[in-house]
């Protein structure tokens, strides 16, 4: 198996970029989406994660590593994973290395989406998503065609409960403390490719494709 890691602060556009890459044969795996699915189904894991996510805190490493372990071990060797929102801590990055080694796989690249905090606050406060298919919109920068319903399935779009300004600021500081150190971790392995995420969606997508070519 092969994996590409999408790294970058919340709101940098990881999910938005991943939407086009899944058309290129990558399997998009977002730990945030997996956790939100557990919340929707009201599983014990979902109930534990909900309170933490609403405060902008991380769920425990063993929980997300367990989800990724299940996915990787249930997939055949030819899978191409696009990891979005995982790993987010050094412990998760080390566990991912172990999981990938145990499957004789490789991390091909780490795409780092750089975006200033001011831009992120604007992006996250206007974000809307489809609870049915997971499509991501922005009311100003990438609006749905009709009102506030999904272009794909006409489901009413929702605003995530962790996209309030206060929680956004908390998530940015958690990113700086716990996730930003992964840049050095992967740079030492020569895997990091930087993309300026403070450009139009089309330009960011094109730059990411170029880094993966």
Out of 3, 5, 7, 10, the residue judged to bind ligand ADP by CB under 6 A: 10
Question: Does the active-site annotation cover 127?
Answer: yes
**Residues in 5-24 that interact with ligand AMP by CB under 6 A:** 10
Nearest to 14 by CA among 35, 34, 26, 28: 28
**Residues in 99-138 that interact with ligand ADP by CB under 6 A:** 123-124, 126-127, 136-138
76: part of which helix (H) or strand (E)? none
61-73 and 44-54 helices cross at what angle (nearest 10)?
Answer: 130
**Residues in 189-208 that interact with ligand AMP by CB under 6 A:** none
Burial string for 80-114 (b: 16+ CB within 10 Å, else e) reads bbbbbbbbbbeebbebbeebbeeeebebebbbbbe
Give the contact letters, 172-201, x = binds to ligand ADP (CB under 6 A), - = no: ---------------------------xxx
Question: Does the active-site annotation cover 88?
Answer: yes
The binding site for ligand ADP (CB under 6 A) comprises 8, 10-16, 123-124, 126-127, 136-138, 141-142, 199-201, 204
């Amino acid at each position: 198996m092969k994996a590409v890691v999408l790294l970058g602060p919340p709101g940098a556009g990881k999910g938005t970029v991943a939407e086009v890459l899944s058309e290129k044969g990558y399997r998009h795996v977002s730990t945030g989406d997996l956790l939100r699915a557990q919340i929707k189904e009201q599983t014990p894991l979902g109930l534990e994660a909900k309170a933490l996510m609403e405060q902008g805190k991380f769920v425990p490493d063993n929980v997300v590593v367990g989800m990724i372990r299940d996915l990787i071990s249930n997939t055949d060797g030819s899978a191409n994973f696009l990891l979005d929102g995982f790993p987010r801590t050094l412990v998760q990055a080390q566990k991912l290395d172990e999981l990938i080694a145990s499957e004789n796989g490789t991390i091909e690249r780490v795409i780092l989406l750089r975006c200033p905090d001011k831009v992120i606050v604007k992006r996250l406060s206007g974000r809307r998503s489809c609870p049915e298919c997971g499509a991501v919109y922005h009311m100003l920068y990438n609006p749905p065609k009709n009102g506030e319903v999904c272009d794909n399935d006409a489901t009413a779009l929702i605003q995530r409960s962790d996209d309030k300004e206060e929680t956004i600021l908390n998530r940015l500081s958690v990113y700086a403390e716990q996730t930003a150190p992964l840049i050095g971790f992967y740079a030492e392995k020569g895997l990091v490719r930087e993309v300026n995420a403070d450009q139009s969606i089309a330009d960011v997508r094109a730059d990411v494709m170029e880094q993966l070519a």
